[in-house]
Amino acid sequence: MDAAVGFVVAHGDAVDRARLSRLRTGAPVAAELLDAAEAGQAPDGGWPAILDGAVGSVDATCFRLAELDDLGALGRPAARHALDWLAARQLPDGGWDEDPSLAGLAPEWARPGDPEARFYLTANAGFWLTVAGLDARAAGPLDHRVGGAYAGVVQAVAQSVAGQLGEDGSWPSFLPAGWLSAALLHRQEMYYESARIQAVLAERIPQMSPADVAWLAATLSRVDVGEEQWLLVSARRRLAETQRSDGGWDSDDGHQFDVYTTLRAIRACRAAVTSAG
C-alpha cells in the first residue's frame, strides 16, 4: 500500500491526490477540487462522452460518479442531478442504452442498440443508483430501502439483470458487467444469483488484467460483500502479484490511466487493510 500511495502522489494530479487522501483518511476535499471533478456536466445531468459534448452518456456518467464517490461527493447537487438523469433514462424493460446519436463515438462496450453493451450499461447504471441509496445520499427524504429514493428503479434493474443470467451464472455481456451485476444483486439481497456470478468470476481471476481485478474488488467491496469472501481474497492476492516495482498497476487503456487503476486498487484493498489493522 505504501508503494501504491507513493505512485499516486508522484504521478497524479490534484484531484487524484485528493481522492487518495480521502480513501486513506476520510479527509474532506476542498470545494475547488470538487468543482473541478464535476466539470463538463451537461444541463440535463449527464456527462458527455467527449469534451464539450452536448449529449449525456450513461457510460461516461457512471465513470464520473466513480470519481466523485472516491471524493465523498455523491451527496452534492451535481451527483444527485446525474443520478436523477440516470433514473429518468431507464427503459420500460428495466435497462439502459446509450443515445442513438452517440453511435459514431461510443466504444464497443457502450454502442447504442448492441445487446451486450446494453446489459453492461444496465448493470453499471443500476450499481451506481444502488450505491447512492446505500449511502442515503439520494435526493429526497431519508429512505432506508435499497436504492433510497431510487428503490423502484433499482428493483426493476435487478430483475432485468437476474432474468438474463444463464443457468451456470454466466451473463450475456462483457467481463465487467459480471462484477457490476453481482454487486447490484448482492445489495438487492438476491444472494443466490449474485453468488452464481461470483463463482464464474472466481474461475477467471487468474487470467484477468490488474485493472479488471482492481475494478472487481473495488466494486464488490463497495456493497459490503464480506472481506473474507473467497472471491475478494483471490482478487487481492492477484493484485499483490501484479503490482509493479514503482507501486502502480497497469491500466488496460494506456499508461496515462495507470494512476486511475492504482487508485481503484487502493480502494479495493483499503477495507482489508482497515479490518486487519
Residue 8 has pLDDT above 70, yes or no: yes
CA distances for 121 relative to 126, 193, 236, 248, angstroms: 8, 19, 26, 28
| Residue 251's pLDDT band (cuts 50, 70, 90) | very high
Pick from 7-11, 18-22, 148-152, 197-201: least confident: 148-152
pTM for this predicted structure: 0.91
Q: What is the mean pLDDT of residues 61-69?
A: 95
Examine residue 31 and state whether it is found in any structural domain, yes or no: no
| Residue 274's pLDDT band (cuts 50, 70, 90) | very low
Residue 275 has pLDDT above 60, yes or no: no
CA atoms within 13 A on the CB side of 109: 14
Within 10 Å of residue 250's Cβ, how many Cβ atoms? 17
Q: What is the mean pLDDT of residues 229-255?
A: 95
Residue 208 has pLDDT above 90, yes or no: yes
Residue 273 has pLDDT above 90, yes or no: no
Q: Which domain holds residue 17?
A: 1-25+212-223+230-277
CA atoms within 13 A on the CB side of 223: 27
Examine residue 277 and state whether it is found in any structural domain, yes or no: yes
Examine residue 136 and state whether it is found in any structural domain, yes or no: no
CA 250/CA 145 separation, integer angstroms: 38
* Backbone phi, psi, residue 37, to 5°: -70, -25
Examine residue 5 and state whether it is found in any structural domain, yes or no: yes
Number of domains in the chain: 1
The mean pLDDT of the chain is 90
Residue 14 has pLDDT above 60, yes or no: yes
Examine residue 3 and state whether it is found in any structural domain, yes or no: yes
Examine residue 270 and state whether it is found in any structural domain, yes or no: yes
pLDDT score, position 229: 82
Q: What is the mean pLDDT of residues 44-61?
A: 92
Residue 135 has pLDDT above 70, yes or no: no
Residue 142 has pLDDT above 60, yes or no: no
Examine residue 159 and state whether it is found in any structural domain, yes or no: no
Examine residue 123 and state whether it is found in any structural domain, yes or no: no
